[in-house]
Structure 1
Amino acid sequence: MAQSFAERLRLGIAVIHGEAQDAESDLVDGRHSPPTVKIPLLIPKEKPPITVVGDVGGRIAIIVDDIIDDVDSFVAAAQTLKKHGAYKIFVMATHGILSSDAPKLIEESAIDKVVVTNTIPHEHQKLQCIKIQTVDISLILSEAIRRIYNGESMSYLFRHIGLED
């Protein structure tokens, strides 16, 4: 998907990876049921180091995700991108939950701007961090709902949205 976006925008692509999710957080949020049989405790895996594949030197880096809540991985990725020569770092996400101390961590990080939609209210977070910017998508959502209700084409929305929208 990232390659597809890069081709459409006629931009280069770099991939950052290595920030594996630890098993402890999986247990807390219920993604893995506790085993019914007792097993010996295992030593948790160490997280692999963050690796950048591609050249980001002297370029603007854009990190895209669906949700930004806990920002630790974004801050770590931004720090790594900065070390590899990226001169500006933007984070874009559809849903900006930004809970806990996320605004403070963003403000103190190498991230230049976090752009999120208004699907979740985050005015309080914006007061704590000037790097957070909101894109209003209410008109697009309402038009999508109207089109679905009337059985109209959704593809029109994707082909006819201008910069002012």
Structure 2
Amino acid sequence: MLRRQDTDKRHSMMAVTLNELVPQDHLVRKIDAAIDFSFIYDLVKDLYSEDKGRPSIDPVVLIKIPLIQYLFGIRSRRQTIKEIETNVAYHWFLGFDFHDPIPHFSTFGKNYERRFKNPNLFEQIFSHILSQAIKHGFVNTEYMYADSTHVKVVYSLKLSLF
């Protein structure tokens, strides 16, 4: 028997929490339980004004966004923001609800260019997150792979700083 899906259900209201919509075994839940991102606030506190300007985007969110991009193989900042806008698990991981505005991809990029331009800051954040990830078994340290392009760039950056 031919059955047609009732599309009127799209407009129905339900009482459900964002927490209920994200599967318990989703990778973002595992990361959230294992990685403590609070250290970032101490590292960036001098980059923010206490009493001037508009409220900022949470610096932890600014670090979690590229983490989502990398972990889930999203190719660009623009596409990452589009994915975040529609993915419930990403909303949950970033601490957003459905009414919170998602940062525009250009705002996301400008924060990196202006506020986080010091490569040592990113290295500190990356190293801290990586050590926590290794400690909790997210990273297999048995094999190491290197892309010579990236190695060359990091090496060049370090040389230019001295």
TM-score (normalizing by structure 2): 0.24
TM-score (normalizing by structure 1): 0.24
Higher helix share: 2
